[in-house]
Structure 1
Amino acid sequence: MEAEACQADLGRCFLGICKVKDPMPRNAILHYVARSLELNAARAQMQPNKAEISNDGFAVNMAAVMLILCKPFLDPNSDKIERIWPDFICHREYISIAYPNDLTRLGIVPDDTSMAIVDNSRQTEEGFNFVSRCFFYALRSLHLGPVSVVRRLKYYQNNLRHIQSQAPDALTPHAPPSAARTQFSIMLGKLQAAQCQAFQPSLVSNSICLYAVYLKWLVYLGSTPSQDNTVKIDFNRKMDNMELPLSSPGNVGFEFTPEYIIDDATTYLEALAQHDPDTLDTVNPESLETILVSFVALMASPGRVNSPHLRASFAESIFAAFLPSSEKGHDNHHFSSFEGIRANMLGNSNFICKYLAPGLLELYGDVEATGHWNAISHRQHIALLLRYIWNIESHRSAFHDFASSRTERFVKFANGIINQTNDGVADSLQRLREIRQTQLDRKNFSFWNSLSEEDKRQRVQALEENERFVSSALLLAAEVLNMLGYLSLDLVFVKAFIVPALVHRLAGMLSSILVSLSGPRGIELKIDQPEQYNFKPKELLAKVFQTISRFSSNENSGSFVDAIASCAYYDYDAFKKASSTVKRFDLVSHDEIPKFNSMNEKAAVRSKELAEEDANMEDAPDEFLDPLMMTLMDDPVRLPNSNNILDRSVIEQHLLNYKTDPFSGLPLSLEQLIPEPELKAKIDAWKASKK
């Protein structure tokens, strides 16, 4: 409280100077702020040279004082938002000393692009109005102060966990003094000090309000199709009335805005929700709702926000701040008394109900580009968000619209599900076998003791790596299968999944898991303490069993049964054993077992028919075969760049992961594929002659 009182006094002092009629004192104090921000630019680094920068106290106090100067326009509905001039950080003739020249911009900005300058007096810092200068200085001071402190919290937490794992006995209440205990105490003190500095109640309240104003201002810029700042932007219109995606091309101010400011907003809100949800409860709900709407608008506009990392951070912040603790799966989150108010924001707005689900569904596929481990974490949280809003009736039409009218985007989303589950479960099951073997070897004392110390060390390291991978991958796989489970009950989604580009991969993925659990190698998955690895074989089997049963019974074309029958993993006996297992342990509702058994019988018959058909097609002319898969083509298409002919399903699958011609490496899209109707007619006639 003493720190807040000191900051308030400093703020009043600065404000008093700025209110003097003579502009000289005001310009002098603001120049001092800009100069201090310039000299402390290195605070944005994770490990700066502390001898060359101010300490955390100065940086946080500077941010608090600048927020006090911004107080008159911290309300998102303030009419002063119109006085924020984007060219303060956008035109090339003048760049504030507070902002480095090499900032990453939100959009892709050509070198010759420049913000139009309405007033030639804006060639110096003093040429900009007070509101603009305070606004952008405050955002920069938050970046170098509280946000810089927040970014170190994860580092402190990781160090604490490492010490706990390496020396657990040294941290017990009655343990004697030790280096590990001292190191733990020092690191814990740093963590708590950082939390106190970054999450002071008044600082939090003002910071969230400023980010709300900034995000609203930015989204309105992005929704205005203007190449300069001469067009009047209506900041008074309701955000609920916006149409997404944001207009393209948009206002140059939107393209020029530094990407890190948006990242700061997501980082600060996410950390606040994780570390101090009680203080988050005190924040103005209107500001939080403005932030939520802005995050959704930016997340659902991938053409304007190019970075998948940044778009993923919107979902992470929504997950942390707005999803109820009870819906966060295995994450250990503190329950706060007002989280229900924030959760209600996910269903109260027509805008949120229209755009949140499509934004998350599209992002689920796009996070593939963030890297393996990041994608696992992002997809787990996106899946939990989707499950929550799926149960809010007002979101359902947006889900259906995405599945029925956005075919290419839906296929990308579904491909993300299949890729993640295939990789996660297949790798996890193999690693579980390795874990089992190591567990058995360690129990065999004579064998284990016969190994060299180096061999033991390598085996233990491999075991620990496998344990880390399996526990995270199976957690996500379980959530993805939950999602497939409830989507397979919806006829709109069943129809969307049962398309040539997806149905065979979907059937193969589900069959592979079921056969791994119920087939002859299932015994190899029997490990000690499976719950430690989030491995729950009965639950996993039940989810896959239900999903197969529902897809087969909810689609009328027979495509899914054909796909099951034709996939390499199909095993009639393993499917039959799975049915007996779920019945014996009462894992699924009784009405689903007959449906599954009926599907299995149909698949067995169809599998034999397909085998006979394949035998008849073995002498197909080479021109009828897909050059990549060497299988008979159903829908041949020509690639314009390389002039090769492939089956449409094969090239569509390739384009889900690589937007290039597989032969020439040149860019390629679905729209460029050229149908080959004459060749298709020849293939169809040849197939008919073989029946």
Structure 2
Amino acid sequence: MSSFEDILLVTKNPADSRGYAVLPEEFEEPLDANQVDAILLYQLVENPSLPSQPFAYLKDCFQRVQQQKRLLKKNQQDIEALQEIDRLVVGYGLILFQVEEFSHGDGNFLTYMKEIVARVDDYTDFLSQLINRAAQEDTLMEFIENFFVTLKKYIDSLGLFNLNDSLNFSSVLTLFELFVSFKPVAASFTKISGFFAAYNAKPNDFEKVTLLGPILTLSPLNASVALQNYGDNLERSQQQTNMIHESLQTQHKMVLDRLFYIVDKIIRGSVESRTDVLTYFAQIINKNHLRRGDHAQLNKLASNAFVSNIALLLVRFSQPFLDVSYRKIDKIDVNYFNNLNLFLDLSSETRMNSDFKEADKFYDRNKKSGDNKPNFISDCFFLTLAYLHYGIGGTLLYDEKVSPQIKRMREEVERITRATQSGDMFARFASMQLPALEKNLQTMQSIQQTLQGFFSHKDLQLEVFEFISGACTFLVRVIDPNHEYPHKQIKLPLIPDQVGVENVDNADYLREHAPVPFKYYPEFVIEGIINYAQYISKYSLNPMFGNPRLHSFVEMATVILRCPELVSNPHLKGKLVQVLSIGAMPIRDDTPGFMMGIFESNELVRESLLYALLDFYVIVEKTGSSSQFYDKFNSRYSISIILEEIYQFSEYRKQIIWQSQNNADFFVRFVARMLNDLTFLLDEGLSSLSEVHNIQKELENRMRGSAPTREENDQELQSKLASAERQAKSSCGLAAKSITLFNIFSKDIPSAFCTPEIVDRLAGMLDYNLASLVGPKCRELKVKTPKKYSFDPKSLLRSLCTVYTNLADQPEFISAVARDGRSFNKELFDRSVHILGNKTGLVNDEFCVKLLQFARDAQDQKVAEEEADLEMGEAPDEFLDPLMFTLMKDPVILPASRVTIDRSTIKAHLLSDSTDPFNRMPLKLEDVIPDEELKHRIEMFRQNKHK
């Protein structure tokens, strides 16, 4: 029948005009099904003029058979003949991918693969039949081995395989999707050579040498993709940039959907293939811990594109057991790290609140048996947390490093451009450097923009935050002694508060009482969550905004801050309060921060957040790093923002007042820290402003031709000016927030600011800064554009004076101001009223009257105390406090140095320093020894003087 000739493109007639292959004499006419095998063998092995390469020829024959079957569907005899051709064509197709030398000419695996990728849609039906036949004949492993090893060679031969090459990458994904859609292929896929990397593979090898590596790197985060999409025009408008973002986001979402399909099929293929996929992902992240290192060599580590894609896939695999119902949350093993069979390498991981030795002992004692293997849900969950920290966490850290690099490059480009234009002697050499530098700058800016596009991809980031919400709930469940949360509420605190004891100095006690097993968990399980939340919060449409599951994150943050025994790392808590402060800040003047609803209505948060913030405000004094002195200001700034915002809720106001009345020692510690900070910040800020003023004045005078009055040259002065400006801006901004808290709390809780430990220091600080703002030296604070330095002198003056008026009815405060011989001056108050009331109208008449009355009361008290001092005469030195030089009221002996000092003085000292001020030995207030004999002698001295 003629269809054989048409299907196989052969003929017995040399005069045939159709260009079919002329068969040798041994083939008989008419051609029939019995000769098909021989014809195919001839075509593939002997015919030197086959119209296409062998595999393509068989695919075309296969398609023609299918066409004939449709046409002859009612003729059973013809159908059977066609099925025989079909069987033989598919059989030879398999042989071509089993024996590379089988066919003559250009018949090799790589040639076949180029054709398949170029015309993938034409090949899908034929390849499907090959897969089925290989499975039936038990040669599937051999077929997929040769097929995918060749596909990997083809990808490698392309040089670049990324989103820019849409035809190639889409065809390759189609082939992966096609093959793994057959369960026997999916089940065996991880056994193909190259699925795993060699044991000694370097961190950046996996994406290059493994089978899944190239497709898992398909992402906008690829540097070549970034440069091609963003590099052509870096001066484009934000609208144009957003359009590029959206285009790449759409493409990336589609690729991720396809990658998830592929990996999901392999994971569902068999128990073994599932274990292999998790092993593969774990090997990658175990070797890439340095992605979170400060000085990592990024070119030697896995790329952002590769690990971020895997992280996003793992997030999707975790979704079903972290949904909002939490029906499957108990499937995640709370004691997961007690397993012997762990994918993750924890050997160098910092723990929540234990050292390595203690953690190892715990796990040695509590190891589960070797037969007890974790379930997929637990493995997937903890692997995702590792990828959140080292994968996505490394990507966002990369973004944070890019910005300063870009700034330095821009400055260098500008410097070289100026040098070239000025005819500098190095101009020619510099101009040769310029093209390479500009190219690097273009690349870095492109990468920065693609990172912005990635992190502003709302759908993807919502998926990440959905995982984080579930993870936060699980971690609180681990912390809960009964592991019943969220089905039952956790009760806080977990251990009694150590009131009167510095938690930061009580690390051993806290470590001893930290909950098991949480204290032994690797720190990355919360660090990844916190770093992500801190970073993503800077995006205007971040996934936390308006998220119904945001309460999970806020609850976890509250639990960690409320229970100091949980996490020993103060930097993580500092980042947590920063995120909470962003959630507390008003979005616009009339719109509350996006976490305020949770702060107000969530029972767990409402009952524990305030104490947690006050406690952390105190203990953040020491962070353990070389920059701890400055670290505390950033954390306290964030806490101040939250306290200021939640104070508008009556529930929190009541709690603060209750703490000041019923937990006085605790609250006084908090006020003392506020006072220490404000004293330092105002002093630092105003000193820096004075330096800015002096340098600006000097530079102006020099420009007018005046002789220099300072030793530094102009360049040195500019450098000093920049440093002073930075310091002024930072200190004034932080001081403004601190003084706001003073205004708020001194109004409602004035007595807390008038305790003997605090009141004298507070009075001295207020008087000194009042003198700086309105005294004779106030002109030294006059600088150009004060707003640039977060300096608003009139507003600061009003804030200082507000504290005076809030405390004006407290006799202890009036006495303390009167005792301040260094700075108190009634005329300063007259000047303040003139500025605030008459000149600016910033305060009303009632405020002015109260402030002036306070100044008169303090002046009267000062006169009265000076007269009393004259009456008292010279007191013996042993009656005087060695630090304050005032007559002691309650002398105590310090156990280490044996120095006698007034109880109120040492109590004030211990609020900010837990050591003996005379020999720096550790000291607690309960250890001081009352000196009753000396106290009696001082009282007798007072009585005699009053007679």
Q: Indicate the TM-score class for this superposition, using the shorter chain for normalisation.
A: 0.7 to 0.9
**Offset, 1:267:** 1.6
Letter of the 1:285 partner, please give it: P
Aligned with 1:272 (options 533, 536, 542): 536
1:244 aligns with 2:493: yes
1:364 aligns with 2:617: yes
**Offset, 1:167:** 7.8
Aligned with 1:127 (options 373, 389, 414): 373
Query: Contact conserved, 1:367 with 1:378, CA < 8 A, in 2?
Result: yes
Aligned with 2:267 (options 6, 11, 18): 18
Letter of the 1:540 partner, please give it: L
Letter of the 1:471 partner, please give it: K
Which deviates more, 150-159 or 383-392? 150-159
**Offset, 1:467:** 0.7
| Correspondence for 2:548 | 285
**Offset, 1:119:** 8.4
1:304 aligns with 2:566: yes
| Correspondence for 1:432 | 689
**Offset, 1:552:** 1.0
Could you report, residue by residue, the CA deviation over 1:632-658 in whole angstroms, capped at 9, with x for unpaired residues? 212222333444332112212221222
Aligned with 2:837 (options 583, 598, 619): 583
Give 1:88-107 correspondences, 5 Å limit: 88-89=336-337, 91=338, 94=340, 96=342, 98-107=344-353
- CA separation in 1, counterparts of 2:648 and 2:414? 42
Letter of the 1:518 partner, please give it: V
The change in CA–CA distance for 1:627 and 1:146 in structure 2 (over 3 A counts) is same
- CA separation in 2, counterparts of 1:500 and 1:430? 29
The change in CA–CA distance for 1:260 and 1:112 in structure 2 (over 3 A counts) is closer
What secondary structure does 2:688 align onto? helix
Could you report, residue by residue, the CA deviation over 1:39-76 in whole angstroms, capped at 9, with x for unpaired residues? 22222224433454221111011111211221221225
| Correspondence for 1:228 | none
Could you report, residue by residue, the CA deviation over 1:108-146 in whole angstroms, capped at 9, with x for unpaired residues? 34734544689865548x822212111111111111211
Query: Contact conserved, 2:534 with 2:576, CA < 8 A, in 1?
Result: no
**Offset, 1:499:** 0.7
**Offset, 1:508:** 1.2
Letter of the 1:153 partner, please give it: D
Could you report, residue by residue, the CA deviation over 1:643-678 in whole angstroms, capped at 9, with x for unpaired residues? 433211221222122212234433222233333344
What secondary structure does 2:844 align onto? coil
**Offset, 1:256:** 1.0
The change in CA–CA distance for 1:95 and 1:465 in structure 2 (over 3 A counts) is farther
Could you report, residue by residue, the CA deviation over 1:178-210 in whole angstroms, capped at 9, with x for unpaired residues? 778766543332222223334543432232222
User: Percentage identity across aligned positions?
Assistant: 25
Query: Contact conserved, 1:146 with 1:197, CA < 8 A, in 2?
Result: no
- CA separation in 1, counterparts of 2:253 and 2:830? 68
Letter of the 2:564 partner, please give it: P
1:548 aligns with 2:811: no
| Correspondence for 1:529 | 785
- CA separation in 1, counterparts of 2:329 and 2:759? 51
The change in CA–CA distance for 1:345 and 1:13 in structure 2 (over 3 A counts) is same
Query: Contact conserved, 1:487 with 1:494, CA < 8 A, in 2?
Result: yes
| Correspondence for 1:227 | none
1:483 aligns with 2:745: no
**Offset, 1:591:** 0.4
- CA separation in 1, counterparts of 2:291 and 2:256? 20
Could you report, residue by residue, the CA deviation over 1:453-481 in whole angstroms, capped at 9, with x for unpaired residues? 96222221111111111112111212222
| Correspondence for 1:601 | 856
| Correspondence for 1:158 | 404
Query: Contact conserved, 1:76 with 1:216, CA < 8 A, in 2?
Result: no
Letter of the 2:808 partner, please give it: S
The change in CA–CA distance for 1:340 and 1:384 in structure 2 (over 3 A counts) is closer
1:138 aligns with 2:394: no
- CA separation in 1, counterparts of 2:690 and 2:778? 10
What secondary structure does 2:620 align onto? helix
The change in CA–CA distance for 1:393 and 1:101 in structure 2 (over 3 A counts) is same
Unaligned runs of 5+ in 2: 1-249, 422-430, 497-509
**Offset, 1:363:** 2.3
1:355 aligns with 2:608: yes
Could you report, residue by residue, the CA deviation over 1:547-586 in whole angstroms, capped at 9, with x for unpaired residues? 1012113x3xx00000111122211222222222222122
RMSD: 3.1
| Correspondence for 1:654 | 909
| Correspondence for 2:258 | 9
The change in CA–CA distance for 1:94 and 1:644 in structure 2 (over 3 A counts) is farther
Letter of the 2:347 partner, please give it: N
The change in CA–CA distance for 1:303 and 1:634 in structure 2 (over 3 A counts) is farther
| Correspondence for 2:290 | 42
The change in CA–CA distance for 1:278 and 1:54 in structure 2 (over 3 A counts) is closer
Unaligned runs of 5+ in 1: 225-231, 329-334
The change in CA–CA distance for 1:321 and 1:150 in structure 2 (over 3 A counts) is farther
| Correspondence for 2:229 | none
**Offset, 1:99:** 2.9
Letter of the 1:306 partner, please give it: S
**Offset, 1:83:** 2.6
Letter of the 1:234 partner, please give it: E
Which deviates more, 26-35 or 271-280? 271-280
What secondary structure does 1:326 align onto? coil
Which fold has the larger relative contact order, with Cα–Cα distance below 8 Å and residues 6 or more apart in sequence? 1
Could you report, residue by residue, the CA deviation over 1:499-544 in whole angstroms, capped at 9, with x for unpaired residues? 1111111111111111111212122222332222222221111111
The change in CA–CA distance for 1:616 and 1:642 in structure 2 (over 3 A counts) is same
TM-score normalized by the length of structure 2:
0.65
- CA separation in 1, counterparts of 2:697 and 2:373? 75
Letter of the 2:713 partner, please give it: D
The change in CA–CA distance for 1:309 and 1:82 in structure 2 (over 3 A counts) is same
Aligned residues, how many? 659
The change in CA–CA distance for 1:276 and 1:523 in structure 2 (over 3 A counts) is closer
| Correspondence for 1:60 | 308
**Offset, 1:418:** 1.4
- CA separation in 2, counterparts of 1:468 and 1:362? 30
Letter of the 2:527 partner, please give it: D
What secondary structure does 2:901 align onto? strand
Give 1:180-219 correspondences, 5 Å limit: 185-219=442-476
| Correspondence for 1:331 | none
The change in CA–CA distance for 1:42 and 1:278 in structure 2 (over 3 A counts) is closer
What secondary structure does 1:646 align onto? strand
- CA separation in 2, counterparts of 1:633 and 1:159? 59
Query: Contact conserved, 1:582 with 1:588, CA < 8 A, in 2?
Result: yes
Aligned with 1:259 (options 513, 519, 523): 523
Query: Contact conserved, 1:263 with 1:313, CA < 8 A, in 2?
Result: no
The change in CA–CA distance for 1:292 and 1:451 in structure 2 (over 3 A counts) is same
Letter of the 1:210 partner, please give it: F
Which deviates more, 242-251 or 403-412? 242-251
Query: Contact conserved, 2:473 with 2:486, CA < 8 A, in 1?
Result: no
The change in CA–CA distance for 1:560 and 1:289 in structure 2 (over 3 A counts) is same
Query: Contact conserved, 1:147 with 1:198, CA < 8 A, in 2?
Result: no
TM-score normalized by the length of structure 1:
0.87
- CA separation in 1, counterparts of 2:558 and 2:401? 29
